[in-house]
Chains A and B, each alone.
Chain A
Amino acid sequence: MIEIVKIIAGALILFGAFLSVVATFGVIRLPDVYTRNHAASKSATLGVMSILLGTFLYFWIEHGHFNSRVILAIVFIFATSPVAGHLISRAAYNSGVPLWEKSVQDDLKGKNQIRQAEK
């Protein structure tokens, strides 16, 4: 039983590390701010959540130590990391960072002028 749970924890940790590397490749290679944000805020979040789940399982099974702070950290990261991604992407759009030159659709274009006129 303990060995099985250790294998599961190891698989979760490896999966999380793999997802972190994937997020970094996205952040390095993608062309503009918004696509980079898309890569970083999703993939890194899931990767770290999986690593923390593996940590929690390890301490619970190996030491019988139910650590609720790790659960709280998982919930906190799941709640706040996409919000941080949304905020920084919105700040980038409103401060005029250009989209990738090959992108075909910009639904927010012109909405800002309308909002400014309504004020």
Chain B
Amino acid sequence: MLEIILRISLLCISLAMLGLLYRVVKGPSAADRVIALDAMGINLIAIVALISILLDTSAFLEVILLVGILAFIGTVAFSKFLEKGEIIEHDRNR
């Protein structure tokens, strides 16, 4: 029973990632693409969690935390680049 639920959920999340991929390809502005990529990263976390239940191993649970941190850092860097034009600023008196 739980396995059927897991497979249905994996299917739903894969379809969700396909829809987000459509937004990444089409999105009119850069911010649309960054939002869609951030949501794709979050869905990827869900896929890793579901697959680790399906394979019945807890060896992949560190990947969840890692992908979460990387998605957050990537989104912050992209939004800073869109807003200010550079990610790490050098001048002191701005």
Contact = CB atoms under 8 A, between A and B. Distances in A.
Q: Do A and B come from one complex?
A: yes
Given A13-B5, A48-B42, A36 B83 contact: no
Given A10-B1, A20-B12, A84 B75 contact: yes
B61 A94 contact: no
Contacts, number: 162
Given A91-B31, A95-B83, A47 B65 contact: no
Contact of B39 (A6, A14, A23, A52): A23
Contacts of B80: 87, 91
Contact of A76 (B29, B43, B68): B68
A65 B73 CA distance: 30
Interface residues of A, number: 53
A24 to B, nearest CB: 4
B49 A63 contact: no
A37 B2 CA distance: 32
Interface string B27-49: 00111101110110011011001
Given A92-B82, A97-B31, A21 B39 contact: no
A24 B15 contact: yes
A91 B79 contact: yes
Contact of B58 (A9, A47, A59): A59
A81 B8 contact: no
Contacts of B68: 73, 76-77, 80
B31 A27 contact: no
Most chain B beta-carbon contacts within 10 A, residue among A10, A47, A51, A88: A88
Interface string A55-73: 1001100010101011011
Contacts of B89: none
A9 B1 CA distance: 12
Interface in A18-51: 18, 20-21, 23-25, 27-28, 33, 36-37, 40-41, 44-45, 47-48, 51
7 contacts: A9-B2, A16-B9, A24-B15, A41-B39, A67-B58, A72-B65, A84-B72
